Amino acid sequence: MIHRTLIYILGAYMVYGFPLVLKAAEYVPLSPSLPQAASNNWLAGGMEGFLNLLFTISVAVAAVLAVIMLAIGGFKYMTSESVFKIGGAKEQITGAIVGLLIVLASITILYTINPRLVEIRIFRTSSIQLHTIC
């Protein structure tokens, strides 16, 4: 009984008290901002703006689909009685988690290396400067 009460007190501290301690520390972001669409108008950036927005939306859709597949796999796991169906549900849950981690890790790694790597810059042309050696 004392063990259970101690766990409840510790849990209440973690939920209510610990965030107040963390709030006292100043938050310093590692990067200035996350990749976002430049404007609410999807044609504001022309074709590049549209492709960047499409890329951002596709990453969000992939994350949502992975969470949905995780929920479906969990439902199959809870409701199935056959060992084979439980194994299939475990594989579906594992596949959803791995897929979500691959999508999020790839975007995070590319954005950490260089934020311009997650931007689509197909139609931008840079001027070429020629230097003569004399």
* pLDDT tens sequence across 94-128: 999 999 999 889 888 888 888 777 777 666 655 55
pLDDT score recorded for residue 9: 73
Whole-number average pLDDT of the chain: 76
Residue 106 lies in a domain: yes
Point out the least confidently predicted range of 53-57, 61-65, 75-79, 90-94.
53-57
In order, the DSSP letters of 46-96 are HHHHHHHHHHHHHHHHHHHHHHHHHHHHHHHHHH--SHHHHHHHHHHHHHH
Reported residue count of the chain is: 134
pLDDT score recorded for residue 52: 77
Q: Give the number of domains in the chain.
A: 1
Residue 70 lies in a domain: yes
Tell me the percentage of the chain whose pLDDT exceeds 90: 27
Helical pair 46-79 and 83-113, crossing angle rounded to 10 deg: 150
Residue 19 predicted with pLDDT over 70: no
Residue 18 lies in a domain: no
Residue 123 lies in a domain: no
Structural domain including 61 reads 40-118
Residue 20 lies in a domain: no
